[in-house]
Chain A
């Protein structure tokens, strides 16, 4: 209940920020409906959204924005788990700055993960189990190569899924995150080879178009198989 109340209050602010329309729910708030009644409305919208049972896998239901947010939540879980492991025991070849920046990135991904968890509330998928057996965490090259893949894939995922979002506030939120992921990608790429921060030609498999100066962009059906080797939990996709 508490979260729902906060979310409805948020819409009041967001309407002005995002130039959004004066929607029905916001109107109700302007009209002075009680917070309790609003929370009930919000709660009503949340019915049957609990996909939390992770034992049977996680289901991404793309029928609405929550499906897209859960998809992002899954990818952020993966990234966060990776960076937590790197930051807790970085490769010995890492410089002090690299250690510090990977620490930063770790917290960025945790922040993204936790925001999705909070925003999704009871609609959030459970915690994913990861599989990092292919990564050598003591080897800087292995860590950097994996980080590059995760960041470039993250950029392509957000770019490719943005068009599915119906709520402007979630679209802007996704935009706020993807540019940070792109900054990560650029930084990691420069650590591997200085100047490769925006080597779009190398990103054509992720949907980039170098000739047009366009970054990676893949639809969820293309992203998930690329992420699958790193995720143990079975991910079911419906309504895509």
Chain B
């Protein structure tokens, strides 16, 4: 692989590639001159980083894009709980119905808040209604509205996805007032996730913790539900800011505790792939 050739090819199509990568053209040229010094193993990483920067969400509309991305997820969650609550006999009356109603109320509030924020920022809020969703994920969760356990499994997956999704978008909103709003939604989703995990644990008779733990044999998915593996990728990570958390500074922090102590983020693309499983053709997130 020859990095210089690749970039030359791109330059033919996109004359401003160097500026996109870094406005300091000279600096980038220098980079290519020392390209040989970068190990082959590190090259894909370095390239990925550069192209992400060049063609990622770097334009002024990125805040609106992030908010619309969040809005799509909130539409998904709200419609899911709303459909479930209006399905007779699905959710037991009492504490369970109260809890799901509380969560639905929050998701609707998030939908309305994000719509206002997007409009205020000059954007057009994405509109998704119940008919645009397929909560069975094309049959993967075929009994999602007839089997309370399935309903809880999918709800837990949605909330844990939501937590990871907001986290991943935080850098785009860095140092902006809207970041605080996003963080305030993010931690509410985490509270929902913690409660739904407890509801799932009780209903399925499994030892699911309120926090995302290490899966069996160290896998990233601690729910034991293979269909939601994509929701939990990298959640078995125990290295933060280059430091191994297991036994950090001579403490008794176990590998499991190390994985639990930090929730991991998902990229926008990863979240869209998960969400699109539940969104009908023609309305999928791009």
- A104's partner among B113, B171, B243, B260 (CB-CB below 8 A) is B260
A183 touches B211 (CB 8 A): yes
Q: Is A239 an interface residue, CB under 8 A from the partner?
A: no
Q: How far is the CA of A168 from the CA of B52 in the complex (A)?
A: 15
Closest residue to B254 on the A side, CB-wise? A107
Q: How far is the CA of A181 from the CA of B190 in the complex (A)?
A: 9
A180 touches B180 (CB 8 A): no
Q: Is B106 an interface residue, CB under 8 A from the partner?
A: yes
B contact face: mostly helix, strand, loop, or mixed: helix
Q: Is B34 an interface residue, CB under 8 A from the partner?
A: yes
Instruction: Indicate with 1 or 0, residue by residue over A171-215, a CB within 8 angstroms of chain B CB atoms.
Output: 111011111111111110010001101101000000011011111
Q: How far is the CA of A18 from the CA of B186 in the complex (A)?
A: 18
Closest residue to B198 on the A side, CB-wise? A190
230-286 of chain B: CB within 8 A of chain A: 240-243, 245, 248-249, 251-254, 257-258, 260-265
> Which of B80-88, B95-103, B132-140 makes up part of the contact surface?
B95-103
Q: Is B76 an interface residue, CB under 8 A from the partner?
A: no
Residues of A contacting B190 in the complex (Cβ-Cβ under 8 angstroms):
178-180, 182-183, 186
148-169 of chain A: CB within 8 A of chain B: 155, 158-160, 162-166, 168-169
Nearest Cβ distance between residue A3 and chain B, in whole angstroms?
9
B176 touches A163 (CB 8 A): yes
Nearest Cβ distance between residue A34 and chain B, in whole angstroms?
11
Residues of B contacting A163 in the complex (Cβ-Cβ under 8 angstroms):
175-177, 179-180
A160 touches B211 (CB 8 A): no
> Which of A4-12, A48-56, A132-140 makes up part of the contact surface?
A4-12
Q: How far is the CA of A10 from the CA of B105 in the complex (A)?
A: 41
A159 touches B183 (CB 8 A): yes
Closest residue to B22 on the A side, CB-wise? A22
A217 touches B183 (CB 8 A): yes
A195 touches B242 (CB 8 A): no
77-133 of chain B: CB within 8 A of chain A: 95, 98-99, 102-103, 105-110, 112-113
B180 touches A217 (CB 8 A): yes
Residues of A contacting B263 in the complex (Cβ-Cβ under 8 angstroms):
175-176, 179-180
Residues of B contacting A164 in the complex (Cβ-Cβ under 8 angstroms):
175
B167 touches A179 (CB 8 A): yes
B240 touches A115 (CB 8 A): yes
Q: Is A94 an interface residue, CB under 8 A from the partner?
A: no
Closest residue to B103 on the A side, CB-wise? A198
- Interface centre among B53, B189, B190, B249, by most chain A C-beta atoms within 10 angstroms, is B190
Residues of B contacting A27 in the complex (Cβ-Cβ under 8 angstroms):
22, 27, 31
Q: How far is the CA of A171 from the CA of B241 in the complex (A)?
A: 12
Q: Is B48 an interface residue, CB under 8 A from the partner?
A: yes
Q: How far is the CA of A39 from the CA of B257 in the complex (A)?
A: 31
Closest residue to B260 on the A side, CB-wise? A108
Residues of A contacting B195 in the complex (Cβ-Cβ under 8 angstroms):
186, 190, 195, 197-198
Q: How far is the CA of A180 from the CA of B46 in the complex (A)?
A: 31
B241 touches A115 (CB 8 A): yes
Q: How far is the CA of A153 from the CA of B42 in the complex (A)?
A: 42
Residues of A contacting B261 in the complex (Cβ-Cβ under 8 angstroms):
107-108, 111-112, 177, 180
Q: Is B37 an interface residue, CB under 8 A from the partner?
A: yes
Q: Is A31 an interface residue, CB under 8 A from the partner?
A: yes
- Interface centre among A15, A163, A200, A209, by most chain B C-beta atoms within 10 angstroms, is A163
Nearest Cβ distance between residue B107 and chain A, in whole angstroms?
7
A13 touches B167 (CB 8 A): no
Instruction: Indicate with 1 or 0, residue by residue over A35-74, a CB within 8 angstroms of chain B CB atoms.
Output: 0000000000000000000000000000000000000000
Nearest Cβ distance between residue B63 and chain A, in whole angstroms?
14
A176 touches B262 (CB 8 A): yes
Residues of B contacting A18 in the complex (Cβ-Cβ under 8 angstroms):
171
A179 touches B245 (CB 8 A): no
Further contacts, 7 of them, CB under 8 A, given A115-B245, A115-B248: A159-B184, A168-B174, A176-B264, A180-B190, A183-B194, A184-B194, A216-B187
In the complex, 16 of the A-B residue pairs with CB atoms within 8 angstroms, ordered by the A residue number, are A13-B45, A19-B57, A22-B50, A27-B22, A32-B34, A107-B257, A110-B253, A114-B253, A155-B187, A158-B183, A162-B180, A171-B171, A177-B262, A186-B191, A197-B99, A213-B105
